[in-house]
Amino acid sequence: MKSIPEMPQLHEPWYKYGVAFLCFEILIAVSVCAYSLFMTFHGLGGFPGKH
Amino acid sequence: MKTQKVEQLIIATVGFFWCFLMWFSTAAFSPSIAAHYHLSIKALGLLASSAIWMAPIGRIVAGWASDRFGAPRTFAAVLAVCGLVSVASAYTTDYTLLFAERIIVAVAGVSFVVGIQHVAQWFEDHEIGTAEGLYAGTGNVGAGAGALVLPRIFGTDYHAAFLWLGAIAVLLAAWYLVRGRAAKTAARREVARCRSNVRGTVFVWSRYIAIALMLAYAMSFGLEIAMNAWLPGYFSRGFHAAILALGFTSVAGLQIAAGTFAAVQSFTASLLRPFAGFMSDLFQRRGWTPLPFIAKSLPYAPRLHWLGIALILITLGTAGLAAAGLSGSLHLSVAVLVALGVFISFGTGGTFALVPLLFPDRPGTAAGFIGGVSTAAGIIYPLFFAGGPNIHTGYFTVAVYMFLPFVLFYFWAARHERHPEEHGLLPISLAAENA
């Protein structure tokens, strides 16, 4: 992999909050996937698929 | 009025989220609508595909309109019209009229390119990947939220859902109109407005790199929206016995189970899209250019390489979904779908981290072409999915006969080391005359 020297970019303050929100969204995605996979095994028998 | 770019990003993102929620709310209630009106399988397929009919032409027009009239006016008009028709559809009892009204509500899907143009007019080159990713990714969640949340809140009462979705859309239209500002500077706004003409449109449409990005977006976002409409039906039919065995025996239960499994694709594709934009920014900062053939010295070459990697992964993931389905394992299919959703997010985030950089003077027109024409793929893929010898093999057909040629074309179009936008079906003089 070619790697040219990193060019430092000064980010404005919003950027770190943007990245934090991005991580929060990844967490939601992982949770939804885990829940869906859990449901493929347990269906109605497991929380919170029970209704 | 004082404003700043983060407020504009929030307005665009909330408006887009709601538009996507409205766009795919019909699909979320398709089992209920089918049961209420006794629809056949073909009629159900028609209802699912109708959500995308307006997107290709509508997005092209919306992209041009956002350059011409500014994103706030264009977005507010989309929200208001779709919201009012959604309210009307809540009181409709005739299926033909409901079908027509839901096609008009599906115009909400054109809002994507308006917001892309809006964000591009406010953010700088080095942060555009993350900014567009946050906008598009968070907004796209509306589709997954529709499949996952709406049936749980409203049960089978789609009339109430359509009423609430429409009423809130009208309120959001007013907010967008009052607080939205078209561009960071008057000069930037003026450049976009002046170049929104037929010559500029023909110039963008005829560039090989624009066509390659359009196909890349057809592979990623086109596949995402096709899956949004297709997957609930795929799971309820392709894994009917497995879902029954899990205890979901009623129409409402089947709808919840199929919608939950389908939602993994939409949620991962949407929520990881900002991460894909961030990765595009990271490739750019580190100067990573690992792929052969693709240009290595362009100012944005690392972003081209990141998108190339995403397209290869999408092709492999789509073929993998066919293999998982043929194995008969619901667990494996959902797991592969998670991976495919992640790869799709890489493609969508990677594409729109590039578009504003390649066509900085025509962001709306470029977004309209790339984000608009590509959605036609969302109509075509389900035809292949449903047309195979069984319900699982269509994914493999799409991967081999459509995605593979698209990837090869992308590599070919992205090979130029200088100004790839100068190469196209028509001469570069189009741009000069238009400047």
Mutation to test the A interface, candidates B309, B327, B338, most A Cβ within 10 Å: B338
The neighbour count for residue B214, using CB atoms within 10 Å, is 26
Q: Provide the pLDDT for residue B199.
A: 79
pLDDT band at A50 (very low <50, low <70, confident <90, very high): very low
Across B61-83, average pLDDT:
93
Contacts of B268 in chain A (CB under 8 A): 29, 32-33
**In the predicted structure, residue B226 carries a pLDDT above the cut 90:** no
Residue B204: band (very low, low, confident or very high) from pLDDT cuts 50, 70, 90 = confident
B136 → chain A, closest CA residue = A22
pLDDT at A44: 63
Q: What is the mean pLDDT of residues B304-314?
A: 96
Kindly report, residue by residue over A17-46, the tens digit of the pLDDT.
888 888 888 898 888 888 888 888 877 654
Running DSSP on this structure, what letter comes out for residue B218? I
The residues near B388 (Cβ < 8 Å, ≥ 6 apart) are B394, B397
Residue B296 has pLDDT above 90, yes or no: yes
Rounded-to-integer distance, Cα B156 and Cα B150, Å: 9
User: Does the N-terminal peptide bond of residue A48 adopt cis geometry, omega within 30 degrees of 0?
Assistant: yes
CA distance B200 to B388: 41
- Do A30 and B265 form a contact (C-beta atoms < 8 A)? no
Query: Which among A17-21, B214-218, B431-435 has the top mean pLDDT?
Result: B214-218
**B267 contacts A28? CB cut-off 8 A:** yes
Determine the average pLDDT of the residues in B131-155.
83
Model pTM score: 0.82
Please report which residue ranges of B155-222 form alpha helices under DSSP H.
158-179, 186-194, 198-205, 208-217
Nearest CA in chain B to A7: B285
Residue type, B156: T
pLDDT band for position B294 (50/70/90)? very high
**DSSP three-state, residue B424:** strand
Nearest to A6 among B256, B268, B285 (CB): B285
CA dist., res. B414 & res. B192, Å (int): 25
Give the tens place of pLDDT for each residue, B378-420: 888 988 888 888 889 999 999 999 999 999 999 999 999 888 8
Q: Which residues pair with B424 in a beta bridge?
A: B207
Please tell me the distance from the alpha carbon of residue B265 to that of residue B271, in angstroms, as a whole number: 10
Please list every residue in chain B whose beta carbon sits closer than 8 Å to the beta carbon of residue A15. Answer: 127, 130
Average pLDDT (B13-29) is 89
A50 touches chain B (CB under 8 A): no
Contact: B134, A22; criterion CB under 8 Å: yes
Q: Which residue has the tokens 């009239």?
A: B69
Does A5 have pLDDT greater than 80?
no
Mean pLDDT of chain B: 88
Residues in CB range of B253: below 8 A, 6 or more apart: A44, A51, B247
Q: B130–A22: do the CB atoms touch at under 8 Å?
A: yes
